[in-house]
Structure 1
Amino acid sequence: MRVLRSLVCGLLLSVMGAEARAEVDLTLGAYSDYVFRGVSQTDEGPTPQLSLDVYGETGWYAGIWASDVDFDESGDWELNPYLGDL
C-alpha cells in the first residue's frame, strides 16, 4: 500500500512539475455509508472520502480518490488513482 501511495504522489508531482500552471481541487466529504453494487464497504458505518484532482492548461488531468473501507481481510483505505485528457 505504501508503494502505491508513493508512486501516485510521485506521478502527481512529476506531472505538476512538467507544466507550471495547473488547477488543483481537493474535495472532502463525510458519508453515512459507502455502498458499491449494493454491498456496504464500511460495514454500514460512516466514512470519510476525499479526492485530489490536478488539471493542466493543455487539457490533461490526474487525481486520486480515497475512501475508508472496513474489510476484515484487507487494508483500511480504498485508493483509486486516475489520469486522462479532456
Structure 2
Amino acid sequence: LHFEGEIYELYLRPEFQGLGFGRRLFSAARRDLVQSGLKSMVIWALSDNEAATEFYRALGGRMVARSSEKFGPKSLDKVAFAWTN
C-alpha cells in the first residue's frame, strides 16, 4: 500500500466530540493535502475505537489495512482508512 498523504493523529477531548469540530479539522487537513497535489491519503485509528472508525467511515474512508503498535508492554491493534482524490 502506498498513500501520498497521511493525517498522523486527530483527537478531540470528549467534551468537544459530536460538535462538528472533528469533521472541520479533518476537512481542513484533507483540503491542505489535496491543494499540495497529493492524490491519496490515509489515517490510522485504534481498531477498538468505535467512535473513530465510524467517524472515518462516515467521511467516506475505506478500510485498507490492519496493523499493531507497541506502547510499552502493550500491543494495540489499529486500522487504516484511505481516501483518493
TM over 0.5: no
TM-score, reference length from structure 2: 0.27
Please identify which structure carries the higher strand content. Answer: 1
Higher relative contact order (CA 8 A, sep 6+): 2
TM-score, reference length from structure 1: 0.27
Please identify which structure carries the higher helix content. Answer: 2
Which one has the largest radius of gyration?
1
